[in-house]
Amino acid sequence: MILHADGNSFYASCEQIYRPDLRGKPVAVLSNNDGIIIALNKEAKACGIKRGDPYFKVRDICQWRGITVFSSNYTLYADISRRITSIYLEYAPDIEEYSIDESFLFFDKCNWSIKDYYEIGHDLKRRIAKEVGIPICVGAAPTKTLAKIASKLCKQYPRLQGGCYMHRPEDMEKVLRKYPIEDVWGIGRRT
């Protein structure tokens, strides 16, 4: 089984660690030269701005809607990522850091029940929120692509409480039939 752990609105969440007054409020992060919006949380997305928007075009919307805008701080983001990875390493015998906010945790040689994976996923989510201050979603499945889909479903459906576990073939079939092909990691936009 493979777990995919993904930081929610990672750059914005990192900024909110040191500004807890901004939790639940719209936050956006700009590129190196403050020209482009490169990250935003769900509250900022709800205000109508998108990743990739030139800041000069949405500056007035940001001010009007009360969106707090930060210049990017890659040193901070890398430090937070290292802290999270150190927690992952306490759980998984092998991990792959896919990006600054995403990792695959491999449990190939573990003969555990789905309940064990469920507990690990929820424990990871709880510990990282408590010890680091970042919300994450965890998806578990037999392949990296399915695990990534599972964690993405957690973001779309908050009732999953941060964990989605696809282990039965009928669940995988059901999800894949409804999942937009263009959103399937490693396949979608390439074909």
Is 102 among the residues known to form the active site?
yes
Q: E strand or H helix at 141, and its extent?
A: strand 136-141
CA distance 165 to 160: 10
Q: Which of 43, 96, 97, 102 is catalytic?
A: 102
DSSP 40-78: E-HHHHTTT--TT-BHHHHHHHHHHHT-EEEE--HHHHH
CB atoms within 10 A of CB 184: 18
Please, are residues 173 and 164 in contact by the beta-carbon 8 Å criterion? Answer: no
Catalytic residue numbers read 102
